[in-house]
Amino acid sequence: MRVVVTGGAGFIGSCLIHKLNREGIRDIIVVDKLGRSESWKNLVGKQFTEYLDKEALFDYLAKHKCDLILHMGACSSTTETDVSFLMENNYRYTQKLALLALKNKTQFLYASSGATYGDGSQGYSDANNNTPLLKPLNAYGYSKQIFDLWLLENGYDKKMTGFKFFNVFGPNEYHKGDMKSLIAKSYPNILKGQGMKLFKSYRKDYKDGEQKRDFIYIKDVLEVVWYFILHPKKTGIFNVGTGRAESWNDLAKAMFAAAGRKPEITYVDMPEVLKDKYQYFTLADTDKLRAAGYKKNFSGLNEAVKDYAGYLKEGKYL
């Protein structure tokens, strides 16, 4: 089996390579644009046959057949303001790759995002008839939304599979700077005996730190994607979250518990640029995922944070 993984040096992409290796798959084409990033460290110890810069992928696919494309590559910054870049990188590139996969009869799985749900006013259902109603709060979410819409409008959801990833955290996200999880940012400081900071709430219906997210551990994400690799006829766009909404306070307490310390939390002002783009609540509706036959349970927050803490303490990668 020959597999192309775009964004292969990134967080989810590199973890998927780890999963593929564990399942005995080594004929992997890693596609990324490393530049000066530290993401190359995510590839150390991984087994693959080729590395390509993302611009070289189409020439490669014109000459070589592959069985599966895992398209995880994208600009994932929710604060990116260059919309032209996002449209070209996240939408046009994905569209071009999807059409090539169709032409070559290659299984195509891609990363969408829970950011497409915006403020959640239309709910969090991944049903096809709900997708056109969604209103993302940032340009990143919009770049993912319009590809989902293109897929549905052309009936390609019957031939491809998309994943609306919610708040994914875990090993291999260390290079992501401001976009890495709060755990990756704050846990090293907690180990040093310091407290941690959470954003204040600017809505009366949410107390400070009680804004909620559907946090999902990367190891659970890998199991979901692997399930759809094994079941290529199960296509469509699926939420990938736990179906549980837990507060930032809950996450902070889990982190302090993993470090064996009492919680020490300070609430700080939210940057002005985030105030009108901030999601106060996310919760993946997992009915469609379960209806597709995925049966495994998701890790509890405390369990997942404790496991991740082991990686952070030792600076380990997946």
Task: Please answer whether residues 166 and 215 qualify as being in contact, where contact means their C-beta atoms are separated by less than 8 angstroms.
Answer: yes
The C-alpha atoms of residue 12 and residue 222 are separated, in whole angstroms, by 8
| Active centre residues (catalytic) | 140, 176
131 Cβ contact partners less than 8 Å away, ≥ 6 residues apart = 116, 145, 148, 149, 152, 237
Number of Cβ atoms within 10 Å of the Cβ of 281: 18
The C-alpha atoms of residue 228 and residue 202 are separated, in whole angstroms, by 40
Angle at 171 between CA 167 and CA 176, to 5 degrees: 65
| β-strand partners of 111 | 163
Task: Please answer whether residues 223 and 168 qualify as being in contact, where contact means their C-beta atoms are separated by less than 8 angstroms.
Answer: no
- Assign residue 7 a region (left: φ > 0; alpha: ψ between -120 and 50; beta: otherwise): left
